[in-house]
Amino acid sequence: MEPEDEQSGEHERRPAPSGLSLFEPRDQPGEQPAEPGGAFDVADPGTESPSRRRRTRRVLLWTVSTLLALVLGAGGALWWTAEHYASSVHRIPDAFPTVPDSAQPKPVPDSGLNLLLVGLDARSDTPTTGSAAKAPAWQAGAARSDTMMLLHLSEDRRSATLVSLPRDTWVPVPGHGEAKLNAAYSWGGPALMTETVQNLTGIRVDHLAVIDWNGFRALTDAVGGVDITVPRTIEGVGEARAWEAGTHHMDGATALLYVRERYGLPGGDLDRTKRQQNFLRALMLKVMDSGTLTSPARLGGLLGTVGEVVSVDDRLSNTGLFQLAWSLRSLRADDVRFLNAPFGGFATRGEQSVVLLADRPAERLWEAIRNDRTEQYFQEHRAGDTLGADVD
């Protein structure tokens, strides 16, 4: 009996597939080459067997279910990490001014994030026996702020600007007349400090972070210390220690001496702010080089460490804190500019030696930060007091 013509239109018999596979062999003898269409090139439903259709559905359902489980699992792990580690960070209640919004700087949409960083010169709470003092809580007159820095993060998180405000800056303090900037914290705590800085700069503060010097020392030790280069030998003056030229690996106690010193420096408090910025730059390099910001697990551990020594405002939720830190994972030390607020000279008010700001240059800087145009500002004003590579 002669074989039937291949063009007779009858369906040819296909060999049964061996095993369950998403990628079964194509172009079997006698078959037309498969049309391009991707891995899931399903035959015409009219010619596909019911069992094959069931297998295909099972494979697709299994694949979708697996992917969904992986996505939900990753999201759950991220949520747990944020809650577990960020919950250790102490929250500061009532950290913002209670005056009406109309009396505060108007927020500018899509203009980045502004954080006020405050360092205290003493603990404002007392540890109980056998336990460490938790993050600082304000008590009237117990401590003045020793360090004030305004940190601006660009909307795209590709750059950051950190401006030091000298503690002796002469400013109007709401309800108290003119005084040194660091008095605001002593008189009215975080809320009055935030209001004073907002009035000075015209910049709306989004979040606040507070640390004291004991916490600073503990944080430095927790990351294994930092390497800081002293460009030239500095002789000791009075209680100020001498520093040999070269790179020093500083633990918490040594770093604390480095950032607090001002009497042995030619620019006094202005040079001290540069040392503080230099330390922060070294700390950033240490954290970034370790890959901490690009690993959710390591980032969680860092937040756990920070939570022991730093307080933040209670508007910053656990998830918000983790997301803020995670958003900085692409930021590099070279993307951060450190500078002092534009200096207008030293002056005397009564028996106090104070620092004055240069009004017009300062206003140009504040305006750039308000509108997230710091890159343009630095292109136009390269002569600002920006932190260089060499810091005494």
Per the structure block, which two tokens stand in for 355? 């620092």
Give the C-alpha separation, 20 to 60, whole Å. Answer: 12
Name all domains of the chain by residue range, CATH numbers in brackets.
87-125+134-380 (3.40.630.190)
Are 370 and 357 in contact, with CB atoms under 8 Å apart?
no
Run of H or E including 14: none
Nearest Cα residue to 271 out of 310, 240, 225: 240
Q: pTM, whole model, 2 decimals? A: 0.73
Give the C-alpha separation, 318 to 92, whole Å. Answer: 13
**Which residue matches tokens 């020392």?**
217
* Residue-level pLDDT, tens digit, the chain, 392 residues: 544 444 444 444 444 444 333 233 444 455 555 444 444 444 454 555 667 666 676 666 666 655 554 444 444 444 555 566 667 788 899 999 999 999 999 999 999 999 999 988 754 443 333 333 344 455 555 566 788 999 999 999 999 999 999 999 999 999 999 999 999 999 999 999 999 999 999 999 999 999 887 888 888 888 889 999 999 888 887 777 889 999 999 999 999 989 888 777 878 888 888 999 999 888 888 877 666 666 766 666 666 777 778 889 999 988 888 888 888 888 888 899 999 999 999 999 999 999 999 999 999 999 999 999 999 999 888 655 678 878 87
Note the Cα 273 to chain centre separation in Å: 20
- Number of Cβ within a 10 Å radius of residue 364: 15
Q: What is the dihedral sign for C-alpha 198, 161, 212, 306?
A: positive
Per the structure block, which two tokens stand in for 276? 């503080």
Are 202 and 228 in contact, with CB atoms under 8 Å apart?
no
Q: What is the dihedral sign for C-alpha 108, 109, 113, 118?
A: positive
Q: How far is CA 382 from CA 21, 64, 90, 361, 387, in A?
A: 64, 55, 39, 12, 12
* Cα pseudo-dihedral 168, 214, 326, 226, rounded to 10: 90
Sequence-distant (≥ 6) Cβ neighbours of residue 162 within 8 angstroms: 117, 149, 150, 151, 152, 277, 280, 336, 337, 338, 339
Give the C-alpha separation, 75 to 173, whole Å. Answer: 45
| Dihedral class, residue 310 (left if φ above 0, else alpha if ψ from -120 to 50, else beta) | beta
- Number of Cβ within a 10 Å radius of residue 280: 21
Give the C-alpha separation, 24 to 16, whole Å. Answer: 11
